[in-house]
Every structure is written in structure tokens, then in C-alpha cells.
Chain A
Amino acid sequence: MESKLLLPNRYKRIGLILLIPSLALGILVRFFDFQFSFLTLQFVKTRINSKDMHLEDTINLTDEMALTGIIVALLFIAFAREKTEDEYIAQTRLESLKWAVLINYILLLVATWLVHGFAYIDVMMYNMLTVLIIFIIRFNYVLNNSKKSFD
């Protein structure tokens, strides 16, 4: 069975290699306020109403880099073809996606009721990644389980 929308098998490894520095960068940004200074962009805003006022705005793109790296890496891992991509693996893939979406929203519902205030921003941040993470874990768990045979 032809599975469309999948990347070649080697992307699984590329994704894993990309995930390590991206995740490290993400943790540095999130918990240690780390920034690459060369990624700071400056904007000069001019307000029409108060002509004298110039507001300088800066944006640092370190967090954008980290999140992009993590999402691309997870997508590569999740959408890489298995070495032998067949009908059972395609079914497992779909089933795992179903699981991932369901568990993701159950977690989100629970967190909605348990987490309040600013901490909820964190919930939403992690929730951006949980669908892919749950999918990858469930899919690989099932395939690994079916590898154990009694030949």
C-alpha cells in the first residue's frame, strides 16, 4: 500500500540529530532567559500622534529558532517512512494519530481545569508539541512490541 505524505526513512535520524540542539536551545531560552544577541532585530516605531516620540522595539528571534527547530525535528521523526512501510504499519500510524489527538485534548481539558493564570500559557506552549510527541511514542511503542516475536 502506497503511503503518501511521508518522508524518506533517513529523516528519522536527521530529525533526532536536529532535535537535540533545538531542545537544548529551547530549554535555555525557556528556563535561563538565554538569547543570541545577533538574533536581535530592532524596529523604530514612529507614532503619528506624538511626533517627538520614537519607540524602539526589539525582537529577539532565539525562541523562534528553538521552536522551529523542535517542531521541524518532531515532524521529521513523525513523518519518516519506516524501512519497510506496509499496510500494518500504515494502520498503526493512523491509529497512533487517533490516539495522539485524543490524549492531547484530554490532557488539555484536564490542564484547563487544574492550571490557572499565567501558568496556563505554559500549558498551551507544551500543548503545541504534545500531539507529535504522543504520536511518536505510541507509534514506536506498538512497532517495537510487534518486533518481539517467538520465532
Chain B
Amino acid sequence: MTKPFSMKNTIRVERAILNITQQDLAEKIGVSRQTINAIESNKYVPSTVLALKMARLFKKNVDELFLLEETD
């Protein structure tokens, strides 16, 4: 499966800072653990709603969590 967009994210890093597991993060924003895993491994680009929820949880701006790759 190819990536729909060339984008990277810092979710795994932010999660490490808060010291929470994928399961914890999933529960906090109401998604499945598969979703968090797919986002972290760049297999899935989340919806704007989900991105905003994560940004609120990590107290960051969305464009600090999700970054367009140079190749775009």
C-alpha cells in the first residue's frame, strides 16, 4: 500500500514525552489502537478532527505534530 501523501508525524515522540502507550492514547481520543499504530507508521493520514484531538491532547499545534515532507 502506498502512502496517500508524503507526510510524517511526531506522534510517537509526543507519546514518549507523556509516557503513554498506544492503547492509552487510543482510549483518550476514542479510536482503536490499530489506528494509532497505522498513523505512527505513516500508513494512515488521520482526519482533521482526529488530528485536532491529538493536538489538543499533546498541547501542540497540528502543524507541529504533522509535517509535510520536502518531496511534495
Name A residues whose Cβ lies closer than 8 Å to a Cβ of B. Answer: 1, 82-89, 91, 143, 146-149, 151
> Least Cβ distance of A84 to chain B in Å?
4
- B34 A89 Cβ-Cβ under 8 A: yes
- A87 B37 Cβ-Cβ under 8 A: no
Given known pairs A83-B32, A86-B30, the reply for A151 and B22 (CB within 8 Å) is yes
- B22 A149 Cβ-Cβ under 8 A: yes
Chain B residue nearest to A86 (CB atoms) is: B31
- A87 B46 Cβ-Cβ under 8 A: yes
- Interface residue total, chain B, C-beta cutoff 8 A: 21
Besides the known contacts A84-B26, A147-B34, 15 further A-B residue pairs in the complex with CB atoms under 8 A apart:
A1-B47, A83-B32, A84-B30, A85-B32, A86-B31, A86-B32, A87-B50, A88-B34, A88-B39, A91-B44, A146-B38, A147-B33, A147-B37, A149-B33, A151-B21
Alpha-carbon separation in the docked complex, A147 to B43 (Å): 13
Given known pairs A1-B47, A146-B43, the reply for A88 and B35 (CB within 8 Å) is yes
Chain A residue nearest to B38 (CB atoms) is: A146
**Which chain A residues border B40 with CB–CB below 8 Å?**
149
- A89 B22 Cβ-Cβ under 8 A: no
